[in-house]
Amino acid sequence: MKIKDIARDYNLDKEAFEAFLQDQGIAVKFSLTGAYLEDSVDLVHLLDQFQNYMADQDEEFAEQLAQQKEREQGIANIVVTTGQGFDGYTITHYGGPVASDLAHSIARGVDGGRGDHALGDPAQSLVDVMEEGRILTLAHLKEQAYELGCNAIINLKFDYVTLEPETVNTQGATSYLPYVFCVTALGTAVYAEEV
């Protein structure tokens, strides 16, 4: 019995059926015309097993989706402050320090001293990188806090570093590399309960 014929006749997802056969260790033979099962295989029993397998897969997928949604909701609900606590809340558990770093390069404009950069306004580029850096590093801090079983971050601090890398080529001339802008976010993950 050709696998593609079984899939067609019983309206099965061929790839899912093949994955099931492999997962269950059911012997599949191959010929020039494609993969097939031995005629001695109890097809009715096999199809029943496949239905159960697919139901289990659907259940597992739904469970993973629910866990992912719960995780995303938990991360979104993490509150953040630059202070040492929240009014009306008491800290019941300190998860520990959380930190995140982001480095981003910004091309140096070629302006010939005129002030109009070929790649746009350098100040706006820097502002955009700072904003993106804060958003991404804060998101990473929240993920870390969630993994530590915390629902808040206190003492949040952002630090910024700008590097202007240069190098000397083989002829001794200075080559100016893109600016490197770094954002570091630091905080303390905690579990806070309303009093």
User: Which tens digit of pLDDT belongs to each residue from 7-52?
Assistant: 999 999 999 999 899 888 888 888 888 888 888 889 999 999 999 9
All CATH 3.30.110.70 domain ranges of the chain, comma separated, are 78-194
The tokens for 171 are: 């002829």
The CATH code belonging to domain 78-194 is: 3.30.110.70
Cα 140 to its chain centre, rounded Å, is 10
To the nearest 10°, report the CA torsion of 38, 43, 49, 53: 70
**CA distance readout (Å), 99 to 22, 145, 150:** 43, 10, 14
Percentage of residues in the chain having pLDDT higher than 90: 59
Cβ neighbours of 163 (radius 10 Å) = 13
Residue 62 and residue 72: Cα distance in Å, rounded? Answer: 15
Nearest to 142 by CA among 195, 79, 89, 88: 79
> pLDDT: is 41 or 71 the higher one?
71
pLDDT in tens, 84-122: 999 999 999 999 999 999 998 887 765 444 444 455 666
Question: What local confidence, expressed as pLDDT, does residue 85 receive?
Answer: 94
- 177: tokens are 């590399």
Pairing label, strands 89-106, 166-168:
unpaired
Mean pLDDT for the chain overall:
89
Rounded average pLDDT over 171-180: 87
Assess whether pLDDT exceeds 50 at residue 53.
yes
| Least confident residue range of 70-74, 81-85, 124-128, 188-192 | 124-128
pLDDT at 69 over 50: yes
User: Which pLDDT score, from 0 to 100, does residue 110 have?
Assistant: 52
Q: Is 162 exposed, middle or buried (0-12, 13-18, 19+ CB in 10 A)?
A: exposed
Helices (H), 77-173: 122-147
